Amino acid sequence: MTEIYTLSRKRTISYLLFAIGILFTLIFISCEEEKPSTTYINGKIVNPKSDYIIISDYANLTDTLKLDEKGRFNISYQTIDSGLFSISYPGEYQSFYLQPGDSLSMRANTKAFDETLSFTGSQARENNYLINLFIDIEDSNMGMLKYKNLAPQVFYDHVQEVKKNRLKKFKKAATKHKFEQRFQDFATFIINLNSYYELERYPVVHSQNIYRDKSIKFPKEFFAHRERVEIDKSKLLNNYAFRPYANALASNIALRNISKTPDLQIDLKGYRYNKERLRVIDSIFDNVDLQNYFAAGEIRNFVRGGKDSKEINLLVTDFLTMSTDATVNEQVAQMAATYINLGPGNQLPNFDLRDANNKKTKLSNRVKRLTVLYYWSVQDKDYALGIHDQVKDLQMKYPEIEFIGINIDNLSFEVWQDAISNNDFRNSKEYLLFDKSAINRQLALRNSNRSMVIDRNLTIIDPNINLFYYKIETTLLGYLNR
């Protein structure tokens, strides 16, 4: 008789669960195999003023991508790490989030890069959140300046309240859009780091030297974040909140240090303070790339804003003993030489301009008396509008001074005239640089935010005047009466 074996209910369920487990394992492996490993990035720059962008992670990846005739770019990677990356365009920089296997598209208009930057494809929600957070932080940082003279504890509490509300909103967005934890960590760090930036810049923007007022006490927690933030990592440069924080940290520590010298007159644009900033940068970073990066930014800003050739030479010498980047060192030395040549008493190059009748003319043909030259660009519309409004007011008060607006963009005559008409600049004296590349080398015009005073012989009186300075009228009167 054949013996029949029957399985118990318990054994049947065990075998069934085992089979299901095998099935799910096979499905999981299959899905893993099918998941794309190549990462794609593409995009478009509308109204491009340059023909390239740079994608970087400030570690192992840096690619310069040439834009095609329609402003488009694309690239793919077989292996990348998950995290924040950077897209850089001349005069612009932004962070974006990426994972291996993503396909991300981006689009921006150079007329308002940050405000028009948008994303589609993988991580679109995350990246659109990041750019909106950036704009919110920028607006908030400007608004915080009205609280700069509050007592330290009151200012600290206000910063904490802003951070708390921002984190609360982010948590709601993270739940709604199901942001993964790694992205949540990055965004939370950005929000926290911006609050630390506010605290670090507080003593620097305060109307008085808060370190010399013995009656003012900082709460213990005011700078406690320094113990929690590890800043010595190059990849932090991909975080758009990091650079402002690191610069504010160096500025604040430098101010505190030199404030210890009694009766020392502290000029935030002077050599002594900025030399201390270089020393602080050298001390807070062990990472050589970060030392070079922030030191180069410091020296460039000092050279652009400097009026004293002796001080420029001194700080450049200090910088060259510190920096190990030979390419940057050469650029800085050349830039300093250019600015020194533009020092008071030197002759401004007699460059070519295009006038409102589309005629080529020399600068000397337009300068007949004490003249203020102010440079502007369509890429910085807020500044262009602001400087023209300021000049309109100054021109009415000081008709003895000529004010000449010079556009520094590579625009066609028609586009330049449209910009003048659309922005109501027609009542001012406007000219277009005839050859921007040549003038850039002579004037070191990195951006439009520069004005200078010259006499009728093109002799430089003030190579870098701030027309928004609250004592600008006193300054102009002094030049008129000299």
Question: Is 436 a member of any domain?
Answer: yes
Question: Is 361 a member of any domain?
Answer: yes
> CA-to-CA distance for 454 and 348, rounded, in angstroms?
8
In terms of pLDDT, which residue wins out, 56 or 12?
56
- Tokens 């602001």 map to which residue? 386
| 387 touches 374 (CB < 8 A) | yes
Q: Over 80: is that where the pLDDT of 463 sits? A: yes
Q: Which amino acid is at 430?
A: E
Q: What is the pLDDT of residues 118-177, one digit of tens each?
A: 999 999 999 999 999 999 999 999 999 999 999 999 999 999 999 999 999 999 999 999
Question: Is 46 a member of any domain?
Answer: no
Question: Is 40 a member of any domain?
Answer: no
Question: Is 455 a member of any domain?
Answer: yes
Q: Which of 139, 241, 160, 156 is nearest to 197 (CA)?
A: 241
pLDDT-derived band at 299, boundaries 50, 70, 90: very high
Edge-to-edge strand ranges of the sheet holding 360-362: 360-362, 352-354, 429-433, 402-407, 371-376, 450-454, 460-462
Question: Is 383 a member of any domain?
Answer: yes
The fraction of the chain above a pLDDT of 70, given in percent, is: 90
Please tell me the predicted confidence (pLDDT) of residue 339.
Answer: 83
Please tell me the predicted confidence (pLDDT) of residue 382.
Answer: 82
| 79 touches 61 (CB < 8 A) | no
Domain of 469: which CATH number? Answer: 3.40.30.10
Q: Over 70: is that where the pLDDT of 353 sits? A: yes
Question: Is 176 a member of any domain?
Answer: no
For 417, phi and psi rounded to 5 degrees?
Answer: -65, -35
Q: What is the pLDDT of residues 45-82, one digit of tens each?
A: 998 878 899 999 998 899 999 999 999 999 999 989 99
Q: Over 60: is that where the pLDDT of 451 sits? A: yes
Please tell me the predicted confidence (pLDDT) of residue 5.
Answer: 36
Q: What is the pLDDT of residues 402-417, one digit of tens each?
A: 999 999 888 889 989 9
pLDDT-derived band at 365, boundaries 50, 70, 90: very high
Question: Is 115 a member of any domain?
Answer: no
User: How does DSSP assign 181-250, residue by residue?
Assistant: HHHHHHHHHHHHHHHHHHHHHHHHHSSS-TTS-TT----TTTTGGGGT-----GGGGGSTTHHHHHHHHH
The backbone region for 101, taken as left when phi is positive above 0, alpha when psi lies in -120 to 50, beta otherwise, is left
Task: Quote the domain boundaries for residue 448.
Answer: 352-480
Q: Is the pTM value of this prediction over 0.95?
A: no
Average pLDDT over residues 215-244: 95
* pLDDT mean across residues, the chain: 89
Q: Looking at the 3D structure of the chain, how many domains does it have?
A: 1
Q: Over 60: is that where the pLDDT of 355 sits? A: yes
